Amino acid sequence: MAEARAALADLTALDRTALEALVLAQQQKLLNRDSEIEHLKLVIARLRRMMFGTKSEKVTREIEQLELKLEELETRQAERARTTPTVTDAKSKPMRRPLPEHLPREVHTHLPQQDSCTQCGGELRKLSEDVSEMLEYK
C-alpha cells in the first residue's frame, strides 16, 4: 500500500509529456501481452490438430508447457485488471443521472403548420424527436 502511494507521488512530479510516454509504454506492454496470449492459443490449437493424427509424447509435452504459460499469462492479466483502477476516456461524455420522477414536467410539441405537403400534397409525418430535461432554478 505504501509502495502504491510512493508511486503515485512520483507520478505527480512528472510533466505531461513524461506521463503520456509512461501511459504509451504501459499500453504497448498490454498489447504485447495480449498478442502473446493470442499467439499461444493459436499454437496450442495447431499442435492439437497435429496430435490428432499421431500421438507423440513430444507434442503432448509441448502443448502442456504452452498451456501452463498461457494460464500464467491469463492469471497475471486478470490480477492486473482487478488491481488497476479503470481510466475513463477523456473524449467520452459524462453520464448524468435522470431527474427524479416526482418533479413536474412540461412537454413542448412543435407541429407543422399544415397537415400535408404544399408541393406534392402528401401527408406530413414525424421524422424524429429531440428530448431534453432541464431543471429550472428560481
Q: Which amino acid is located at 117 in the chain?
A: C
What single letter denotes the amino acid at residue 101?
A: E
- What is the model's pTM? 0.33
* 8 A C-beta contact, residue 64 and residue 34: no
- 3-state SS, 86-129, equals CCCCCCCCCCCCCCCCCCCCCCCCCCCCCCECCCCCCECCCCCC
Rounded distance between C-alpha atoms, residue 83 and residue 119, angstroms: 65
Tens-level pLDDT at each residue, the chain (138 residues): 455 455 555 777 778 888 888 888 888 888 888 888 888 888 888 887 776 655 667 777 888 888 888 888 888 888 887 877 665 555 666 777 888 888 888 888 777 788 888 888 888 877 777 777 777 777
Q: Under DSSP, is residue 81 helix (H, G, I), strand (E, B) or coil? A: helix
